[in-house]
Amino acid sequence: MPFSKLGLAPKVVDGVRAAGYTVPTPIQLRAIPVILEGRDLIGSAQTGTGKTAAFALPIISRLGQRGALRALVLEPTRELAAQVETAIRDYARFTNLRTVVLFGGTGYGRQDQVLRQGADIVVATPGRLLDQIQRGMLRLSQIEILVLDEADRMLDMGFLPDVRRLVERCPRARQTMLFSATIPPEIEQLCNWALRNPETIEIGQRRSPAETVTHALYAVDIGQKQELLEELLRRTDYDQVLIFCRTKHGADRVARKLNQEGHAVAVLHSNRTQSERERALNGFRDGRYEVMVATDIAARGIDVEQISHVINFDVPHHPEDYVHRIGRTGRAQSVGDAFTIMTGEDVQEIAAIERFIGQKIPRVKIAGFNYAYTRLLDSNPKPIFGGGRSPGKRSFGYGRRRR
Ligand code: AMP
């Protein structure tokens, strides 16, 4: 079914066409008519499924014309807020609606200036939005549509009390949508409290990672992680690589060493200033950096089209983070590879991830790599790179590959 048959306003259909989308994704097909009817919605879907447009298009369509501040979208991170605002502006380009983004870590001057001009849609992180309300810069008294995006991450980051405060400032008669990859009890409570008779839309299996991603595990002694990472980069034919570390210091260290090896590297974590984070992300988006090293929170929801590979330098603590991390590649049905470096300390976490995603991740060994002994290597995985078939075979070789 084309976008023009979903009941969206013609200007929104034009905006979607200009964005280059031809057919709606499954979540868009199911969510758009429900939202257009004005119903509350709980949405869970695989990452990269087109969730943003699924809520943004009907919101733009329902708002129609310039007016008061009527729609609010809450996001857990600044990067996501910026990304969602850009998408909304893009879809609304043929309307006269105004969208504003608010997040912390930057001065108030420019935000105040923009807010004085008024907005129909605000995309914000909870802390800064509360700040701006307390400073008297905006009110939520005319909000008609509220979106709580990435609710499970807002919970993880301790934002739920702020989210509740913000929900309380919105009128009761409103439409509320909540999107979350997982629905832990706290989110279920939030749904019961903030939503009225919601429709639930679940696309695919909530737990499954994008199906277009090829996974592989690389076991190595803990002292050789960096060496193995560099070898992987040397042997992989990538467009752009996103590397995940558990800690900010770890991310800085890995980035520094890769820089010394001559890679163009950006770093994204929450100790960086807002302008450093923006520079990193923009540079990665426009291809100035081929590698980005990030922590989980900073990289949540990041959408960079060219990401061909995700490498977990550290195994994530939470199995759901594995799904989110590798969701950065293979977005909206393109293909990607996800490599995970594991050491003897990660055995239990890997088992938990495999249970969570319901599949065993193939163990892969790099032929010719000078492995130090670790008991993990005893299980005799098949050699690759220069011999044998492997799950990641498609993408190995020399020279740059363009999709
Ligand atoms: P999201 O899940 O909202 O982060 O979207 C993932 C990616 O899919 C983004 O790059 C979108 O621009 C893209 N996308 C969303 N909807 C469509 C569509 N109907 N057709 C093609 N690409 C889409």
Q: Give the mutation target among 21, 27, 79, 307 for probing the ligand 1 site: most ligand atoms within 8 A of CB.
A: 21
Residue 169: pLDDT over 70:
yes
CB 294 within 8 A of CB 301: no
Burial class (CB within 10 angstroms; exposed 0-12, middle 13-18, buried 19+) of 131: middle
Alpha carbons 131 and 180: distance in angstroms, whole number: 25
Residue 240's pLDDT is what? 86
User: For residue 71, which amino acid is it?
Assistant: A
**Entry pTM:** 0.64
Tell which one of 5, 51, 303 to mutate to probe ligand 1, the residue whose CB is within 8 A of the most ligand atoms.
303
Q: How far is the CA of 222 from the centre of ligand 1 (A)?
A: 38
3-class secondary structure for 14-34? HHHHHCCCCCCCHHHHHHHHH
Ligand 1 centroid – CA 48 distance (Å): 6
CATH fold, domain 3-203, is Rossmann fold (3.40.50)
The per-residue pLDDT for range 61-118, each reduced to its tens digit, is 999 999 999 999 999 999 899 999 999 999 999 999 999 999 998 899 999 999 999 9
Segment 124-156, tens digit of pLDDT:
999 999 999 999 999 999 999 999 999 988 988
How close is the Cα of 71 to the center of ligand 1, in Å? 21
Sign of CA dihedral 230, 234, 235, 237: positive
Please work out whether the CB of residue 75 comes within 6 Å of at least one atom of ligand 1.
no
Q: Is 44 helix (H, G, I), strand (E, B) or coil?
A: strand
- What separation in Å is there between the alpha carbon of 20 and the centre of ligand 1? 10
DSSP 378: G
Q: For residue 156, how far is the Cα from the chain centroid?
A: 15
Residue 146 has what pLDDT? 98
Predicted local distance difference test score (pLDDT) of residue 207? 44
pLDDT reading at 235 higher than 90:
no
Q: CB within 8 A of 67, min separation 6: which ones?
A: 120
If one residue of 90, 331, 333 were mutated to test the ligand 1 pocket, choosing by the most ligand atoms within 8 A of its CB, it would be 331
Compute the distance from residue 209 Cα to the ligand 1 centre, in Å.
16
Question: Which stretches does DSSP call E strand in 105-195?
Answer: 121-124, 145-148, 175-179
Backbone CA torsion sign across 127, 131, 133, 134: positive
Quote the pLDDT of residue 321: 84
51 Cβ inside 6 Å of ligand 1: yes
Is residue 159 over pLDDT 70? yes
Helix (H, G, I), strand (E, B) or coil at 41: strand
Q: Pick one of 3.40.50.300, 3.60.40.10, 3.30.43.10, 3.40.50.620 as the CATH number of 213-384.
A: 3.40.50.300
Domain boundaries, the chain: 3-203, 213-384
The reply to whether ligand 1 has any atom less than 6 angstroms from the CB of 21 is yes
User: Residue with structure tokens 């929170």?
Assistant: 297
Centre of ligand 1 to C-alpha 331, Å, is 8
Same fold, 3-203 and 213-384: yes
Locus of tokens 């983070």: 321
d(CA 288, CA 108): 30
Ligand 1 lined by 332 (C-beta under 6 Å)? yes
Cβ of 50 closer than 6 Å to ligand 1, yes or no, is yes
Q: What is the pLDDT of residues 246-294, one digit of tens each?
A: 999 999 999 999 999 999 999 998 888 888 888 888 898 888 899 999 9
